[in-house]
């Protein structure tokens, strides 16, 4: 099936305090977005849609051309929305007609190993309509009320942390987001609430989402280890 990857990079990155929208913060001499796109192109997609904050379309195109290694003609840049879900919808609207499978990937998971993309694509090829990478939850999780009091224990063995890239049959994701009645923090939630089964494959600790300043330090350290 013709594969497209939508990279959502339109977040403001206020928790990171990196001085720019998160995807445009440098990891080394290259941005988070650049590093993310190198991993995306390794999956040999037929189209890559990059969703960016208004005003950053030109910078994103430069990063994408740089990461694409001669395949810059596969790149479409679009302007994002207020929420992640709106940004994904903007990305979907830019898909070429022949695309059948869509991966949605957070730019902030810049160091996601190619093997995670491979596992997602393999699950779709094997017939899943929706599949996400997950990792075990390491912390003990509590349900808390508005006053910060613990209201319930949550059984950790029943939990998994969802990562990206999340893979979908295009028609399934399009319909789920068109009909979504809530703002979901990932795409699998919209697809599940539309009644579709969501499969899981093994994620990877290195696919963590760069969110806070310590995450940025960790990503920079991993990258310099990789190069040395």
Contact residues toward ligand C5P (CB under 6 A) are: 8-11, 22-23, 51, 80-84, 87, 106-108, 185, 209, 211
98 versus 159: smaller Cβ distance to ligand C5P: 159
As measured in angstroms, the least distance from the Cβ of 166 to ligand C5P is 12
Q: Which is nearer to ligand C5P, 107 or 201 (CB)?
A: 107
Q: Which is nearer to ligand C5P, 10 or 37 (CB)?
A: 10
- Nearest distance in Å: CB 125, ligand C5P: 26
Q: Which is nearer to ligand C5P, 33 or 99 (CB)?
A: 33
Nearest residue to ligand C5P, scored by beta-carbon proximity: 11
Q: Can you read off the two tokens belonging to residue 158?
A: 């029943």
> Contact 193/175 with Cβ under 8 angstroms?
no
Q: Are residues 159 and 226 in contact, defined by beta-carbon separation less than 8 angstroms?
A: no
* Smallest separation, CB 92 to ligand C5P (Å): 13
Measure the CA dihedral 192/194/101/112, to 10°: -30
Q: Which is nearer to ligand C5P, 14 or 157 (CB)?
A: 14
Give the list of residues 6+ apart from residue 166 with CB closer than 8 angstroms, or none. Answer: 103, 104, 105, 120, 130, 131, 132, 133, 186, 187, 188
* C-alpha to C-alpha distance for 191 and 175, rounded to whole angstroms: 8
The minimum distance between CB 81 and ligand C5P, in angstroms, equals 6
Please state the closest distance from residue 139 (CB atom) to ligand C5P, in A.
18
Give the bridge partners for 161, in sequence order. Answer: 135
């Amino acid at each position: 099936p013709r594969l497209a990857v939508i990279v959502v990079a339109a977040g403001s990155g206020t928790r990171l305090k990196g001085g720019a929208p998160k995807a445009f913060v440098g990891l080394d001499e290259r941005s988070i977005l650049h590093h993310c796109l190198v991993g995306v192109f390794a999956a040999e997609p037929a189209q890559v849609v990059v969703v960016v904050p208004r005003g950053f379309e030109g910078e994103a195109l430069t990063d994408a051309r740089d990461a694409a290694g001669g395949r810059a003609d596969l790149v479409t840049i679009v302007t994002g929305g207020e929420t992640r879900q709106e940004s994904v919808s903007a990305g979907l609207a830019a898909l070429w007609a022949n695309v059948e499978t869509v991966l949605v990937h957070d730019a902030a998971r810049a160091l996601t190993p190619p093997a995670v993309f491979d596992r997602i694509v393999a699950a779709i090829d094997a017939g899943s309509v929706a599949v996400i990478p997950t990792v075990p939850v390491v912390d003990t999780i509590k349900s808390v009320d508005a006053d910060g009091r613990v209201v319930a224990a949550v059984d950790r063995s029943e939990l998994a942390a969802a990562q990206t890239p999340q893979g979908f049959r295009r028609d399934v994701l399009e319909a789920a987001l068109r009909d979504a009645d809530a703002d979901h923090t990932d795409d699998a939630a919209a697809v599940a609430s539309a009644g579709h089964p969501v499969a899981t494959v093994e994620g990877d600790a290195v696919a963590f989402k760069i969110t806070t300043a310590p995450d940025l330090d960790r990503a920079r350290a991993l990258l310099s280890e990789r190069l040395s």
